[in-house]
Copies of this chain bind each other. A is one copy, B any other.
Amino acid sequence: MFRTHTCGELRISHAGQTITLAGWVQRTRKMGGMTFVDIRDRYGITQLVFNQDTNTILWESANKLGREFVIQVSGEVAERSNKNANINTGDIELLVTVLTVLNESKTPPFTIEDNTDGGDDIRMKYRYLDLRRNAVRHNLELRHAMAFETRRYLDKMNFLEVETPVLIGSTPEGARDFVVPSRMNPGEFYALPQSPQLFKQLLMVSGFDRYFQIVKCFRDEDLRADRQPEFTQIDCEMSFVTQEDVLQIFEGMVKHLFKYVKNIDFVESFPRMTWADAMKYYGSDKPDIRFDMKFVELKEEVSGHNFVVFDSVPYVAGICATGCAGYTRKQIDTLTDFVKRPQVGAKGLVYIRCEADGTFKSSVDKFYSNDDLKIIADKCNAIPGDLILILAGEIRKTQKALNELRLEIGEALGLRDKNVFAPLWVIDFPLFEYDEETQRYYAMHHPFTSPMLEDLPLLETNKGEVRSNAYDMVVNGVELGGGSIRIHDSKLQNEMFKHLGFTPEKAEAQFGFLMSAFQYGAPPHGGLAFGLDRFVSLFAGLDSIRDCIAFPKNNSGRDVMMDAPSVIDQSQLDELNLIIDIKE
């Protein structure tokens, strides 16, 4: 070992001991005949002292050390006269008697500090240096701890981690697969799994009873800020369970992680909200319930006042922004611009200021008397000093816009504190989702999701109302995971395929293999999958998943550090029986 201690380990109790450290030069300060060097490793920083009077040659060597040189030093631990309360080793320093340069370093292209001077692009190109920064490394330490505690909890609960294959068959349904040409099977391709869904259900057929896996999944999609072509799931499945059992077990897992990783104890059960209520009160299937500000439906109250904007639409709803009556015209204009952005999509914004004297000032005074506005304000539970913001239009679109507005206001009011965590189960998801474009229903989750038995009669009459045994775990408006109880009965499954518009042939082609397996005694089963990247981001308080991934890819799916993907040798293409043909 090149060291007796780490750079984060020495305390006042070590004073007088002769020890050896190894690490990187964080910085060097020359103060007259004394040179102070901060040596850094994963565990911390220790101050080294070189004294010209004691050892001139050594002192001169110390003065030549550059940033990020790798050094080994020995000496005596001494109490510092000038203690630094900001670091764990701040009570001591090392009086160096031996200095060895283990490796030199070129000057890094950005500083290795929490607030680095490096921009995103350069940091990604030199990711191996970026990873030296505490801020980034802490995210990966957190990731390790979360994965480890997940395994510890699930192992204790009798789950078996089973590795499922990465080279699998391609399924044309759903998102785009990454494919892998097979050299040994010319003209054929493997696919990389978008999830181990098929395999985990097979493992239930195999009687594995409780399965999990922390596993890489792959999706060849155009990337957004929080998407990566490869991502990691905590994938789980259980047999002989109802929805309640699954929620209990995984609520336990989430609580375990909060407790052992974040030191936060959730004693009470997590709240549950139906999908219908989530849409009605928050306009989102992943409501951020750190703050209230529920939607108030106002169609009845606002109708019949000759305000055509409200009269002509099916849906009018508002939110009450506590204490915001003082918002200036300019602030309200900014909010109006916000809701009119194409991503939000509202046509305009109506406001009602609840003045201190009990009167109201609104953008629709022409149509509504003070008494009319009072009725609305009362319904919104608004009191003097509050600001009511109202949107109107087609129901889903307007709910979506009002959700965005609610989040924006919540952010502005400081109600979305990253250190406050508000978990929520969203349950009773619809089984089907109607697609306007193709004018047909699709499975909202996937075609194996079990419908709620009491809703089965609606299958023929009102597909859109059929609820499923599907659930999502939402924290702070982030969907951490979701799953469902699966259909284990072949007859019901075939009926579902019919309702999803699959011909028996198409169902057979795509899912025949799983359906065959189900004929050999499939147990009732269900499960869920968490997105580990998002889970870590949430715990780390990050806005993007990128910084909790050691070597992420950019929005074009490129690893700019190693410059991948890249062209391959013609001989490789030949072996794979492939010709590249780039269309213009």
Chain A interface (Cβ within 8 Å of chain B)? Answer: 1-3, 22-24, 40-43, 68-70, 72, 102-106, 108, 126-129, 131-132, 137, 140-141, 143-144, 147-148, 151, 155, 160-170, 172, 176-192, 198-199, 202-203, 205-209, 216, 218, 220, 222, 229-230, 232, 240-242, 245, 488-489, 513, 517-524, 549-551, 553, 556-559, 561-569, 572, 574-583
- By beta carbon, the residue of chain B nearest A184 is B557
How many Å lie between the Cα of A334 and that of B208 in the bound state?
A: 46
How many Å lie between the Cα of A44 and that of B220 in the bound state?
A: 42
Task: State whether A188 touches B567 (Cβ < 8 A).
Answer: yes
Known pairs A148-B151, A162-B550. 10 more at Cβ < 8 A? A1-B241, A2-B524, A24-B207, A70-B522, A72-B240, A137-B206, A163-B549, A164-B550, A167-B564, A168-B559
Task: State whether B22 touches A523 (Cβ < 8 A).
Answer: yes
List of B residues within 8 angstroms of A127 by Cβ:
202
Indicate whether A160 sits within 8 Å of B179 (C-beta atoms), given known contacts A40-B207, A70-B523, A103-B522.
no
Task: State whether A179 touches B179 (Cβ < 8 A).
Answer: no
Partner of A208, one of B23, B69, B137: B137
Indicate whether A103 sits within 8 Å of B488 (C-beta atoms), given known contacts A179-B572, A187-B567, A207-B40.
yes
Task: State whether A179 touches B176 (Cβ < 8 A).
Answer: no
Partner of A189, one of B68, B155, B566: B566
Centre residue among A190, A524, A578 by max chain B CB count within 10 A = A190
Task: State whether A242 touches B160 (Cβ < 8 A).
Answer: no
Task: State whether A185 touches B558 (Cβ < 8 A).
Answer: yes
**What are 26 A-B pairs at a CB distance below 8 A?**
A24-B521, A70-B524, A102-B523, A103-B488, A103-B521, A126-B520, A128-B202, A128-B205, A131-B203, A143-B163, A144-B161, A148-B151, A163-B549, A165-B553, A166-B230, A167-B559, A169-B559, A176-B183, A180-B180, A180-B192, A184-B220, A188-B566, A189-B565, A198-B562, A216-B216, A513-B562
How many Å lie between the Cα of A1 and that of B222 in the bound state?
A: 41
